[in-house]
Structure 1
Amino acid sequence: LGKARALDALAQSEYFGAMPVPLDVYREQVKRQSVKNMQITRSQLEGAMGHLVLPNELIGNLGPAVSAGRSILMYGPPGNGKSSISNGIRDALGDKIYVPRAIEYASQVITVYDPIVHSAAEDDTQDPNALRRITRFDSRYVKCERPTVITGGELTLNMLDLVYNPTARTYQAPLQLKSTGGIFIVDDLGRQAEPPQSLVNRWIVPLEENKDILALQSGEKFEVPFDTLVIFSTNFHPNEIFDQAALRRIFYKIKIDGPNQKNFLKIFAMVAKKRKVPLDEGTLIHLLKHKYPTINNVFANYQPIFLIDQMIAICEFEGIPNQMSPDLIDRAWANMFVQDEKIIK
């Protein structure tokens, strides 16, 4: 009889681990540690982005958006740090939350904790003089840094649905549920196989009502909390990829432009110092007077790193100390842009 009952239980689910947290209990926990309860100060945001050279007004625009915990769309030319800014926002959050190993709804187990997404915090409750570990929180949860899920061109709509494991008869939480209490970054929006409009349409209910709707294998649908700071990042102008109804649901739209010449030189000097390449005034004058006018003096944040790394590679190949010169800049520049060529038949 015991074997029969065990087999019956295994037929329903082969989940093995900590007791799943009931969905209603999980909802209350999400409210207690909501990302919308975070209050980010200017000093926190500046500290997390201290390695970036940003316009002063940009921090003033980002701060209220992060503190509000509402969706953010960052747009602008490629290579100007949208991804780095997203990571800086993640670092500014700084505190810890409790992530359930699994949740349960209608006798179905949904695993949430994912070591790839969630960074378990070091156990600070250990007494070095104690003979055994003392756990001061519900062990059905894992104490973690606020999670960050980063997706790019690989994102598809089915990645936002429950994934059923027919062998274990359990479900894997979708990406947005794993990011609860943290940040969901959709990088390079417009490069996915799905149209940007379709992706944003999938987020309309979550963004407006702070809840998401998932479906079991049986077709039964149920609500889960949606408590995530969603950051969209794109190189396209918003009007090119969204209609006005979609734009209305994205609360903050922040343009990330390239640096001006002063900030470009500041970034160039910082990168050169970090890479241990001596600055050369003649090289910089050559770069500004002869190279950038060919592209209408359009500066981008990625360019100093690209140019300096190219010069280092050349120096290493030629067996000379790291340095910069007009000739090296010319060779590096040739690899940064592909010039149009006329095909002669």
Structure 2
Amino acid sequence: MNMMASGVLAPVPPKNLAETGISPVMMRDLLLKTMFRTNLDTCSSIARVIALTIPVTQELVDLARSQRLLEATGTLHANSGGEMGYQLTDAGKARALDALAQSEYYGAMPVPLAAYHEQIKRQSIRNIQITRDQLTAAMGHLILPKELLDNLGPAVSSGRSILMYGPPGNGKSSISNGIRDALGDRIYIPRAVEYAGQVITVFDPIVHTAAEESVDDPTSLRRSGNRFDNRYVYSVRPTVITGGELSLDMLDLTYNPTARTYTAPLQMKSSGGVFIVDDLGRQAEPPQKLVNRWIVPLEENRDILSLQSGEKFEVPFDTLVIFSTNFHPNEIFDKAALRRIFFKIKIDGPCQQDFLKIFAMVARKKKMALDERTMLHLMRVKYPTIANTYANYQPVFLIDQMIAICNFEGIPIQMTPDLIDRAWANMFVRDEAIAH
């Protein structure tokens, strides 16, 4: 049985050790390592760190006691509702050190890979249906042509890959962020996943925004009152944004040889959410090579990862991939790669009418009064010099430049033809030979 939250089925807390899906030896060693590293000594404080309910933690403590790896200290902690204290025996310390030599990982119990597969299915990005109103609301701060939303809506709702291309400075990154905001709901991210006795950490505070944790209260009568399995964090759908720094090895498991621990790759951290590859074509690796790495995941919704031993295993690939580039797709991809990217959407510069709307909106936001003479100068004198090529970034750039000049000159914030000329000079670099 699963509980619902925000329309997504929640993982139920295990009622006993067997229901965790993890081997008792592995859990026992994680308990010993955690107590050794943190000096925690009550069942409720240990339960919070190993992310199990108090009754299941007690079962684990009793298992370790039966093996003479833990002993009761005989002290009752008044501030923990009169709880019994526990400590590692000499044999327990030796076992903890031995286990730490194999892997430094301690803390939250992992989720078995099979259970992670099931949870990903329940909260799949492909289960989401975005309405026009939701998308418009999320993009409300952007002035976009209607036909762009007509194309974006079905692309986002399909949960398939999207390629946005077009000249720089027209809001491809802002649109990507708007898509992320339109998703809006929350899902369950595992703190860590277990496969073949190896622990792979998944939850990352940089990528994931925790909304709520489910913790047992040691003073309550019903101790296992957790709303969901605390090995997961209830989180906003994740967004991973990478740019020119993206390399192929970021899409593989990261192994720390000192701690002997694994960290999930970027696309696994973005499961159930959005993976934005910004500035495609600026990476050290050619775009074709990067996209080749994604071909199987994009087509089959599964990815293959490798352990240090060379053993390969399958993880779900459940992320809306948004590629964004300033290059024409035919320049950077072959036809086979393009075929596998489901939606190709051109993001062009605004028409003159939309450009003026954006300019007025930015001026209002920055508290700069519009001046008709200056606007005529901009549209009739300056833009013809660049063949009336408008871009979404230009109003912000020009207005910020004029504000900076006004502040420097000690004059009130204003726009004049002269200030536009000075701002314009900073927007483009003149082509000229420079003597070295």
Same fold (TM over 0.5): yes
Q: Look up the match of 2:38.
A: none
Alignment-mate amino acid for residue 124 of structure 2:
S
Residues 228-262 of structure 1, C-alpha deviation per residue, up to 9 Å, x if partnerless?
00000000000000000000000000000000000
Residues 98-123 of structure 1, C-alpha deviation per residue, up to 9 Å, x if partnerless?
00000000000000000000000146
Q: Are residue 285 (structure 1) and residue 371 (structure 2) matched?
A: no
Q: Report the Cα distance in structure 2 between the residues aligned to 1:241 and 1:106, rounded to whole angstroms.
A: 39
Q: Look up the match of 1:238.
A: 329
Match of 1:184 among 275, 280, 287: 275
Residues 250-277 of structure 1, C-alpha deviation per residue, up to 9 Å, x if partnerless?
0000000000000000000000000000
Residues 187-231 of structure 1, C-alpha deviation per residue, up to 9 Å, x if partnerless?
000000000000000001100110001000011111000000000
Q: In structure 1, the residue corresponding to 2:259 is in which secondary structure?
A: coil
Q: Report the Cα distance in structure 2 between the residues aligned to 1:249 and 1:88, rounded to whole angstroms.
A: 24
Q: Report the Cα distance in structure 1 between the residues aligned to 2:268 and 2:144, rounded to whole angstroms.
A: 32
Q: In structure 2, the residue corresponding to 1:99 is in which secondary structure?
A: strand
Q: Are residue 11 (structure 1) and residue 101 (structure 2) matched?
A: yes
Q: How does 1:184-263 map to 2 (within 5 A)?
A: 184-263=275-354
Q: Look up the match of 1:322.
A: 413
Q: Are residue 51 (structure 1) and residue 154 (structure 2) matched?
A: no
Q: Are residue 307 (structure 1) and residue 406 (structure 2) matched?
A: no
Q: Which moved more, 1:333-342 or 1:211-220?
A: 333-342
Q: Are residue 333 (structure 1) and residue 418 (structure 2) matched?
A: no
In structure 1, stretches of 5+ residues that fail to align are none
How much does 1:133 deviate? 11
Q: Look up the match of 1:60.
A: 150
Q: In structure 2, the residue corresponding to 1:203 is in which secondary structure?
A: helix
How much does 1:7 deviate? 3.4
Q: In structure 2, the residue corresponding to 1:322 is in which secondary structure?
A: coil
Aligned length: 343
Q: Report the Cα distance in structure 1 between the residues aligned to 2:241 and 2:406, rounded to whole angstroms.
A: 35
Larger radius of gyration: 2
Match of 2:204 among 114, 129, 143: 114
Q: Report the Cα distance in structure 1 between the residues aligned to 2:271 and 2:168, rounded to whole angstroms.
A: 28
Alignment-mate amino acid for residue 51 of structure 1:
H
Q: Look up the match of 2:191.
A: 101
- Higher relative contact order at CA 8 Å, sep ≥6: structure 1 or structure 2? 1
Q: Report the Cα distance in structure 2 between the residues aligned to 1:324 and 1:4, rounded to whole angstroms.
A: 74
Q: Look up the match of 2:16.
A: none
Q: Report the Cα distance in structure 1 between the residues aligned to 2:380 and 2:214, rounded to whole angstroms.
A: 56
Alignment-mate amino acid for residue 207 of structure 2:
V
Q: Report the Cα distance in structure 1 between the residues aligned to 2:435 and 2:216, rounded to whole angstroms.
A: 74
Q: In structure 2, the residue corresponding to 1:80 is in which secondary structure?
A: coil
